[in-house]
Structures are given as structure tokens and as C-alpha cells.
């Protein structure tokens, strides 16, 4: 039966609309990892995703009578755009059922391609069921996003291009897995021509439906899936895609959200392109295999499957990328609640760059701080820091892989401090150099207690700092003179209503 797929793949109609995308060497990542890393740029397709290949091949294979009836699909993302554009090119009516929660940018993109958008339900399952009802009522042809031989064959044309573009030795091809259509198609072709080349599927840890299916010996429905990599957030893989992947894949590797974010950054660093989370998934799996020593010898290839990412998600991606590449440690540290403790803590860290520092004065003998530290030596350096702090008698908890801390708690450190008398609030811009924080602390009088501190380095030349400092009214002029000597840009925010409402012990 696999030979039938080879015929389908070689005769697939995709290039009336799709383009042959380049295969590029990732120079920076290759140098860092010490291996050749190649990236297939499916983000350069007309709809910025590989999905156009399978959608067009499926619709092009319909009879004239079927095309006259029109097609329908259920999708909130790349498949919707692929079907809409393919149908428009082939002169076929296309109805696209999308959940009501679909971002407006994706709805408008489909409408711009002449797709008839139907908004229904709050999730994909509801939209899929409604699409089935409409298909039956209006006698439309349902275009499945992955579990269809023509869709699988269309996606597999990527494999044809890969082996033509790189005819030399090749260790492995890493492929993102959602429903399994892309992985099934590439594996069918590559294993037929180059059985020695490993084909590895990659899934998010919180949406590993193919891994669960292979473990069970049949497709299973996951109770829930994470939606960060929404392009592969599939609760159940297809029957046909499972059959092919179970027989042909050489393994499945799962990755975290942080690792996906780090891979997005790697792609940007090498290409200046911004991949969607599902688009960077395969590269994240490649990196995970290399880190674990599980990658086969030879050049390694990853598919960048798409670039349809909402701009507002980039803030979260940037926040998590440093952790994903083990370039930042997040620590909860208990220090004595007394003047000078903060300065002593910063001195312990030496020249290491502080990426974040959250603290609010509270009554009691100890203070809890949330601190980020930039790492050059990955987990080994992080352990050295943990050992150093513990050796000084400080209680420290590693929060680097604590999802609750990363998503919520880091932004909630604070509140009103009932005993923070004579507190003034200032914003500063600190130059990004190792001693900037320590110079600031040493420029203040020891009895000017820091009662609030928030600092976060967002990768610019200056770090933005918010600090509350207890300065008696009689010493305010001396305090301002000390700030002027430091030379850092500053402005007072004591009267700011945001401070008064949420942080000031005196209330609004």
C-alpha cells in the first residue's frame, strides 16, 4: 500500500499554487551545536504554512461535479486559509467553519480569500461537528485537515523537495506532529527512497496525541491539550496518519513551551523570520535530541511549518525563550529583612547579570525575593549559584521550571506594606552592565531602606527599574543629590495613582 502513496506523491498537484521552499543552513545554530542544522522554510508559502499543499491537492483531485458542489472544512488556522485560497484558485465555493473564539486576524484572512466564514461554538470540536452537519445539508465535500490520502500526499511533496535539495548524507528529519498528515507523508516518501534516514516526529508535551496513540497501539482521544502551539493542538490523530506514523516514524520526541520559544528565537536569529509556535516545534525537538545525545550522526533537518502567529504573542515568546535555552534562572530566595541585605545578596552573585528582581517590604524578620539571573553556563552554572546561596545560609528554591511562578507569581510579588513609612517611589533607567545594580545600592546611604524593587531586563540597552525607598522628609535633598551623582535617569512616581491604589501603605 505504501507504493500507492509514492504514486500519489509523485503525481500530486501542488505547484499550481504552492512554491518549492528553500532549504537553508542555520549558520549560528550549527556553529553553537557543532553540527549541520538545516531548516525547510515552509513559512514562505503563499499562506505562510505548508497546509496549502494538502488542501490544494485534495480539492484538485475532485471531479468536476464535486467541485461544483463546493467544499467545507473546520479550522481556526492554517488549514482554513489553505482551503480558502485553493478553492478560490480552482473556482470552487468554500465554506470555512471556525470557532467563535478565533482571532479576528484569521477570520479576515479567510474572508479575504473569498472563503464563506461560519462562526460556531467555542472550540474546534464544536466547529467540526457543525461543519459535518452543513456538509450533509448542503452536499458539500469535507476537506479533512490531515486524515485523507490526497492531503497526506500533498504534504509529502515536502519530502520530495528535501531529498532533491540535500542529496548527501543526512542523519534525521524532524517533523512537527499535530494530526499527523505532514509526518505520515514525509515518512512514506523518505523511508521508501532513503530508509537509512531517521524521521522523527515532534509534539508538545501537553499535546502529544501521536505519542499516546503509538503507546496504546491505536488512536486515543486526549482529555485536553495545551494550546500554546495551536497549530498542532489535536486531541486525536487520524486513523490513516496513525497507521503510517506507527509503521514508519523512528520515534517521537516531546518538548516544553519554553523549548519551543527558544527555537522561535533560534529561527529569528538565523533568518530574521518569526515562526509560529507549531512552526518552530520541529527545531525544538532537534535541539532536545542533540542535548540528550539521542540525535543520529550527520546533518539534521527540521521543518519550519508556518509563520501565522499573532503579534501580541511575541511578548510571551520572548519572555520564555531565555529559559528555554537555559539562559536564565528564576529563583525564590529568603533573605533577612534588614537594611543592607539586598546589597549583600547582589554582591554574592558577583558580575552575573540580574535579569529580574521583585521585592516588597513586609513585616517580619525575613524577606522573600524573586530574582532572575542570566546564565552563560546553563544548568551547570545554575547549580553553582544554588550551591553558593545555600552555602551562605540563604534559603533558595529553583523556580525556573515552575509554570505557576513563570506565568503568574512573578508578576504578583508585592502589595501594600503597612510599615513602609516615609516611602518615596522612583522610576530609573539602569545601563545594562554587570555592576549597575550594585553601583546604585552603594550610592545610597545605608539607612535609606529599599522597601520595594522591581527590575526586568527586556533585552534593550537600558533596564527599567521601579524602586520604593524609605527616606525621611528631612533627608530628601540629600537623597536627590545622591541620585544625581549616580547619573542614572530617574523620575519620581510617588503621586502616581497606580502606586497609590495598589502599593502605597497610605492608600489612594
SS (H, E, C) 428-466: EEEECCCCHHHHHHHCCCCCCEEEEEEEECCCCCEEEEE
Indicate whether 84 belongs to any domain: yes
Indicate whether 20 belongs to any domain: yes
Amino acid 310: pLDDT: 79
Indicate whether 386 belongs to any domain: yes
Do 83 and 196 share a domain, yes or no? no
- What is the chain's pLDDT, residue by residue, as a tens digit (508 residues)? 567 899 999 999 999 999 999 999 999 999 999 999 999 999 999 999 999 999 999 999 999 999 999 999 998 789 999 999 999 999 999 999 988 877 777 788 899 999 999 999 877 778 889 999 999 999 999 999 999 999 999 999 999 999 999 999 999 999 999 999 999 999 999 999 999 999 999 999 999 999 999 999 999 999 888 878 888 988 999 999 999 999 999 999 999 999 999 999 999 999 999 999 999 999 999 999 999 999 999 999 999 999 988 787 787 788 778 777 788 888 888 888 888 888 888 888 888 888 888 777 667 788 788 888 888 888 899 999 999 999 988 888 888 887 767 765 666 566 667 677 899 989 887 776 667 778 888 888 888 988 888 776 555 556 678 888 999 999 999 999 999 998 888 889 888 876 776 667 665 4
Indicate whether 26 belongs to any domain: yes
Indicate whether 466 belongs to any domain: yes
DSSP per residue over 370-381, as a string? EEEEE-SSHHHH
Amino acid 281: pLDDT: 98
Range of the domain at 162: 2-49+149-321
DSSP-derived 3-state class of residue 220: coil
What nine digits make up the cell of 460? 534593550
Do 42 and 64 share a domain, yes or no? no
Boundary of a domain, candidates 142, 173, 205:
142
Please tell me the distance from the alpha carbon of residue 156 to that of residue 199, in angstroms, as a whole number: 13
What nine digits make up the cell of 365? 524578620
Q: Which residues are catalytic?
A: 51, 305
Do 299 and 390 share a domain, yes or no? no
How far does Cα 266 stand from its chain's mean position? 11
Boundary of a domain, candidates 262, 296, 321:
321
Indicate whether 507 belongs to any domain: no
Boundary of a domain, candidates 87, 111, 142:
142
> Helices marked H in 325-377 — which ranges?
341-349
Judge whether 147 and 181 are in contact, CB under 8 Å. yes
Amino acid 243: pLDDT: 97
Do 410 and 288 share a domain, yes or no? no
Indicate whether 108 belongs to any domain: yes
pTM: 0.79
* Domain CATH code at residue 84: 3.40.50.1100
Do 212 and 317 share a domain, yes or no? yes
Percent of residues in the chain assigned helix, strand, coil, to nearest 5 = 45, 20, 35
* The total number of structural domains that make up the chain: 3
Tell me which residue has cell 549558520.
27
Do 186 and 305 share a domain, yes or no? yes
Amino acid 24: pLDDT: 98
Please tell me the distance from the alpha carbon of residue 115 to that of residue 87, in angstroms, as a whole number: 8
Residue 82's nearest CA partner among 304, 249, 242, 308 is: 308
Do 160 and 235 share a domain, yes or no? yes
Indicate whether 238 belongs to any domain: yes
Do 13 and 70 share a domain, yes or no? no
DSSP per residue over 65-89, as a string? HHHHH-EEEE-SSHHHHHHHHHHHH
Residues pairing with 252 in the sheet: 201
| Residue 184, φ and ψ in degrees, nearest 5 | -60, -45
What nine digits make up the cell of 168? 548527501
Residue 76's nearest CA partner among 239, 310, 424 is: 310
| Residue 470, φ and ψ in degrees, nearest 5 | -85, 105
Do 226 and 265 share a domain, yes or no? yes
Rg (CA), the chain: 27
* Domain CATH code at residue 471: 3.40.1020.10
Do 294 and 193 share a domain, yes or no? yes
Do 233 and 257 share a domain, yes or no? yes
Do 32 and 179 share a domain, yes or no? yes
Amino acid at each position: 500500500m505504501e507504493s500507492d502513496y509514492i504514486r500519489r506523491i509523485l503525481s500530486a498537484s501542488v505547484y499550481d499554487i504552492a512554491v518549492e521552499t528553500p532549504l537553508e543552513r542555520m549558520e549560528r545554530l550549527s556553529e553553537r551545536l557543532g553540527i549541520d542544522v538545516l531548516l525547510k522554510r515552509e513559512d514562505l508559502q503563499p499562506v505562510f504554512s505548508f497546509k496549502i499543499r494538502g488542501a490544494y491537492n485534495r480539492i484538485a483531485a475532485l471531479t468536476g461535479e464535486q467541485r461544483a458542489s463546493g467544499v467545507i472544512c473546520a479550522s481556526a488556522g492554517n488549514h482554513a486559509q489553505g482551503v480558502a485560497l485553493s478553492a478560490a484558485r480552482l473556482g470552487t465555493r468554500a465554506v470555512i467553519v471556525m470557532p467563535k473564539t478565533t482571532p479576528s486576524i484569521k477570520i479576515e484572512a479567510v474572508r479575504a480569500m473569498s472563503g464563506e466564514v461560519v462562526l460556531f461554538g467555542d472550540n474546534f470540536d464544536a466547529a467540526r461537528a457543525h461543519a459535518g452537519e452543513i456538509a450533509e445539508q448542503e452536499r458539500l465535500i469535507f476537506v479533512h485537515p490531515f486524515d485523507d490520502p490526497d492531503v497526506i500526499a500533498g504534504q509529502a511533496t515536502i519530502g520530495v523537495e528535501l531529498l532533491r535539495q540535500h542529496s548527501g548524507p543526512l542523519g534525521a528529519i524532524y517533523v512537527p506532529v499535530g494530526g499527523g498528515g505532514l509526518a505520515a507523508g514525509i515518512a512514506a516518501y523518505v523511508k521508501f527512497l532513503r530508509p537509512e534516514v531517521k524521521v522523527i516526529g515532534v509534539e508538545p508535551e501537553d499535546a502529544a496525541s501521536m505519542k499516546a496513540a503509538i503507546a496504546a497501539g491505536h488512536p486515543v482521544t486526549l482529555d485536553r491539550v495545551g494550546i500554546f502551539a495551536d497549530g498542532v493542538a489535536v486531541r486525536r490523530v487520524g486513523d490513516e496518519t496513525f497507521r503510517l506514523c506507527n509503521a514508519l516514524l523512528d520515534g517521537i520526541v516531546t518538548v516544553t513551551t519554553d523549548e519551543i520559544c527558544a527555537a522561535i528565537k533560534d529561527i529569528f536569529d538565523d533568518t530574521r523570520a518569526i515562526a509560529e509556535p507549531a512552526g518552530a516545534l520541529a527545531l525544538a525537538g532537534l535541539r532536545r535530541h542533540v542535548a540528550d545525545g539521542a540525535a543520529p550522526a550527520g546533518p539534521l533537518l527540521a521543518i519550519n511549518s508556518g509563520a501565522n502567529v499573532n503579534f501580541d504573542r511575541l511578548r510571551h515568546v520572548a519572555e520564555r525563550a531565555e529559559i528555554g535555552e537555559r539562559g536564565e534562572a528564576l529563583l525564590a530566595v529568603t533573605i533577612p529583612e534588614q537594611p543592607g541585605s539586598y546589597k549583600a545578596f547582589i554582591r554574592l552573585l558577583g558580575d552575573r547579570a540580574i535579569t529580574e528582581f521583585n521585592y516588597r517590604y513586609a513585616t517580619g524578620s525575613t524577606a522573600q525575593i524573586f530574582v532572575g539571573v542570566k546564565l552563560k553556563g546553563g544548568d551547570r552554572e545554575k547549580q553553582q549559584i544554588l550551591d553558593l546561596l545555600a552555602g551562605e545560609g540563604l534559603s533558595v528554591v529553583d523556580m525556573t521550571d515552575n509554570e505557576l511562578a513563570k506565568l503568574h507569581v512573578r508578576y504578583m510579588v508585592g502589595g501594600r506594606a503597612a510599615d513602609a513609612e516615609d516611602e518615596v517611589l522612583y522610576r530609573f533607567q539602569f545601563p545594562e552592565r554587570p555592576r549597575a545594580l550594585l553601583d546604585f545600592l552603594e550610592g545610597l546611604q545605608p539607612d535609606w531602606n529599599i522597601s520595594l524593587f522591581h527590575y526586568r531586563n527586556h533585552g534593550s540597552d537600558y533596564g527599567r527599574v521601579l524602586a520604593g525607598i524609605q527616606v525621611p522628609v528631612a533627608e530628601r535633598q540629600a537623597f536627590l543629590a545622591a541620585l544625581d551623582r549616580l547619573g542614572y535617569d530617574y523620575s519620581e512616581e510617588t503621586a502616581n495613582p497606580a502606586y497609590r491604589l495598589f502599593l502605597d501603605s497610605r492608600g489612594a
